[in-house]
Amino acid sequence: MSTASRFPGPQPGSILFITLDSCRYDTFCAAHAPNLKAIGPLHRAMAPSYFTYGSHAAMFVGFTPGIAQRAEPFVNPKFGKLFKIVGGGFAGKGTEWVALTGRSIMDGLKLRGYRAIGSGAAGWFDPGSPTGSLLTADFDAFHFPGNTWSLRGQLTWIAEEIATAKQPVFTFLNVGETHVPYFHEGAPWSPDHNPCVPFGTNNDAALCRERQRACLEFVDRELAALLAAFRGETIVVCADHGDCWGEDGLWEHGISHEKTLEVPLLYRVAAV
């Protein structure tokens, strides 16, 4: 069962920020993902880093994936950021969607009256770890499911948080099903089989492609109600990085390569 009936509408002005962990751009292009693809034009962007912590640390201070060759706000954060943290004596160019003060976009939005809630599936988001505590410190509430295939539980938690919020929410969701081992609840294969292992000798690029696409299509179905609840509000969806599937003899991420940096980016912004 999906979480289709569990989402109340958030307060006006709310923001939804979703990262599809490790999702390759070509996977997104190939997948049947009508709910995600309806958000806005799909951009082939370059991520700020090639692993989860580095990319989210950058995105949480406004450096979302972008296209350096395009002089266009939001598509190129160097030209105009979606979320601009004002600092270093530089107030911005006037091309930003919103300018914020604070340690992070969560902290900055909280100073503007938002409630910041988040759920992250990747292990880097474990609030009980030193690194996870850094990534999650500025959220009012954060949920870590303990594995990368608990999207339904994450969505249930988010729905409950939105239902009780009395102010606009900044809702962050890191989706883990598209991360190795490319597994989703109910999948007809075991999470114990990972076809993409760094330096592995039994990797399978075709299976990686098939399973990540299947996981993304599962994710798209499960996200339908959340995306519908934020209809008319601001939504940003991207991957934090991609994966290598044998290109140049490389596998997975944590290495700087075109395929670990190439990610999908979609967004729809509303007035603030």
DSSP 84-117: EEPBTTB---S--SEEE-SSSHHHHHHHTT-EEE
Other Cβ atoms within 10 Å of 67 Cβ, number: 17
pLDDT higher than 60, residue 136: yes
Report CA-CA distances (Å) from 5 to 13, 182, 222: 22, 26, 11
Q: Which residues of 182-209 are buried (b: 16+ CB within 10 A; e: fewer)?
A: bbbeebeeeeeebbbeeeeeebbeebbb
- Residues in the chain, how many? 272
Residue 109: band (very low, low, confident or very high) from pLDDT cuts 50, 70, 90: very high
- Average pLDDT of the chain is 95
Residue 93: band (very low, low, confident or very high) from pLDDT cuts 50, 70, 90: confident
Percent of the chain past pLDDT 70, that is, above it, reads 96
Residue 91: band (very low, low, confident or very high) from pLDDT cuts 50, 70, 90: low
Residue 87: band (very low, low, confident or very high) from pLDDT cuts 50, 70, 90: confident
pLDDT of the residue at 90: 62
3-state secondary structure of 158: helix
Give me 178's structure tokens.
Answer: 């598209």
pLDDT higher than 70, residue 213: yes
Q: What is the CA radius of gyration of the chain?
A: 18
pLDDT of the residue at 88: 58
Rounded Cα distance between 161 and 167, Å, is 11
The CATH code belonging to domain 15-65+103-268 is 3.40.720.10
pLDDT of the residue at 94: 82
Burial of 231 (0-12, 13-18, 19+ CB in 10 A): exposed
**Closest by alpha carbon to 8, among 142, 156, 114?**
156
Rounded Cα distance between 253 and 256, Å, is 8
Which of the residue ranges 93-107, 130-144, 186-200 would you say has the lowest mean pLDDT? 93-107
Which of the residue ranges 1-15, 82-96, 135-149, 194-208 would you say has the lowest mean pLDDT? 1-15
Whether the bond between 181 and the residue before it is cis, its omega within 30 degrees of 0, is yes
pLDDT of the residue at 245: 98
- The residue that leads in pLDDT, 231 or 3, is 231
pLDDT of the residue at 2: 46
- The residue that leads in pLDDT, 239 or 93, is 239
